[in-house]
Amino acid sequence: MSGPLRYLSGFGNEHVSEARAGALPVGRNSPQRVAHGLYAEQLSGTAFTAPRAANLRTWLYRRRPAVVVGAYAPFEQPWLKSGAAQGEAAPPDPLRWAPAPIPAAPTDFVEGLRTLCVNGDPDAQHGMAAHLYLCNRGMGRRAFVDADGELLIVPQQGALRLVTELGRLEVAPGEIAVVPRGMAFKVEVDGPSRGYVCENYGAALRLPELGPIGSNGLANARDFLVPVAAVEDATPGSAGFEAEPGAYEIVKKFGGRLWRAAQDHTPFDVVAWHGNLVPCKYDTARFMTVNTVSYDHPDPSIFTVLTSPSDTPGWANVDFVIFPPRWMVAEDTFRPPWYHRNVMSEFMGLVHGQYDAKPAGFKPGGASLHNAMVPHGPDAEAFAKASAASLAPHKLEHTLAFMFETRWRLAPTAFALNGGLLDTSYADCWRDLEDHYQ
């Protein structure tokens, strides 16, 4: 990666940025003639008539509008799946996957996407997909547009540089990034890189309500960072960055399929912009963890970073939840997560360290799925240790696990079931749980 980037801060803010002074119109959105010969274009993330507090849109002032692109043809990528219809029937077993190896052959972010499980329907705008990405080279003169959903990216190995229409983000393991539905971006890497992607077909991710926690806590809005305008192949007078010359290939996910088209210019030509539909990044080390200071293990909803609501209040289309370093101080309490059958479906990944309910077998870069009403909980080793542990204050350190929790049942893909990563002995971790009744 090159030098440090500048950012704006704040989640949900009305941001303003220009790479060239005077490029942004004042007092209007679409003047008859935009400064410097630019075009005005609006990107809408909600319907025009969405409530004002939830309305998402950004105005872009660019050298050429996005409509200047060639005809689309199918793009073959057999590992990327969408919606419940592209999943496989599977029994109600707990599932766990080993970390996927990063290919040795040159592979970029789009080529390296591997879907593990899916639900919902992108055309109906509900549900999600959980993907892995496995790549070892940048995208060069290729850009990706997901018209089906918003993307939440969780790096596990290797830092990423995301080049978006609104500017650039550097995202390292321990951080996350969100790219809005329909926004072009590309991913550059310095070496072998692996991570997770939540593709959200539903309502845009937002900060959860805090309720009795009060006005501060969990993920604070000011800790989300937004890029500043930067133009690829910049002309004199504009802040920008250089890239290899040539035409661009635009790969678009649309209706659950990938399509490709050519254009003779960069899509990263936005000289100025303003709005609240923006890509962003967040450092999970800044999460203000809330936990008990008396007894019991609270519900994991206290670790929610972002949520996509569904049409039923309190039942999320998808929640993004993290399990960061934290103090464990509960008295007379079994401190790991309890045994559970959940109406929600839980997809988990591990960025680094160990997860306290599964000290063995759940590896960084791996994943697990406990679907709705599938029993799960601490393995036999974790139960034995926690049942006999001293209850002195203990800091759980050097760990970062996360969960995509969704109200819809997740269907594993053929790759998930037959790709050589599935741990067929996963359920054995509970086999040694004995009957201690006296």
How is residue 382 written in tokens?
């974790």
**Res. 30: pLDDT tops 70:** yes
Domain 7-87+102-234+241-283's class? Answer: mainly beta
How is residue 176 written in tokens?
């996350």
- Percent of the chain that is helix, strand, coil (3-state, to 5): 10, 35, 55
Residues designated as active site: 297
pLDDT at 242: 72
Q: Where in the chain is the domain with CATH 2.60.120.10?
A: 7-87+102-234+241-283, 287-430
Q: Does domain 287-430 have CATH number 2.60.120.10?
A: yes
pLDDT at 3: 67
pLDDT at 234: 64
- Cβ neighbours around 283 below 10 Å, total: 15
**Res. 2: pLDDT tops 60:** no
**pTM flag (> 0.75):** yes
DSSP calls for 362-384: --TT-EEEE-TT--B---HHHHH
> What's 105's DSSP letter?
S
The answer to whether residues 362 and 96 touch, using CB atoms and an 8 Å cutoff, is: yes
What is the distance between the alpha carbons of residues 332 and 294, in angstroms, rounded to a whole number?
A: 9
What band does 97 get if pLDDT is binned at 50, 70 and 90?
A: very high
Please give the average per-residue pLDDT across 277-294, as a whole number.
Answer: 97
* Residue tagged 């819809």 (tokens): 408
Report the residue count for the chain.
Answer: 438
**Res. 1: pLDDT tops 60:** no
- Cβ neighbours around 388 below 10 Å, total: 7
What is the distance between the alpha carbons of residues 198 and 120, in angstroms, rounded to a whole number?
A: 13
The answer to whether residues 80 and 129 touch, using CB atoms and an 8 Å cutoff, is: no
Tens of pLDDT, residue by residue over 335-367, are 999 999 999 999 999 999 988 767 778 999 999
What band does 253 get if pLDDT is binned at 50, 70 and 90?
A: very high
The answer to whether residues 421 and 96 touch, using CB atoms and an 8 Å cutoff, is: no
pLDDT at 360: 74
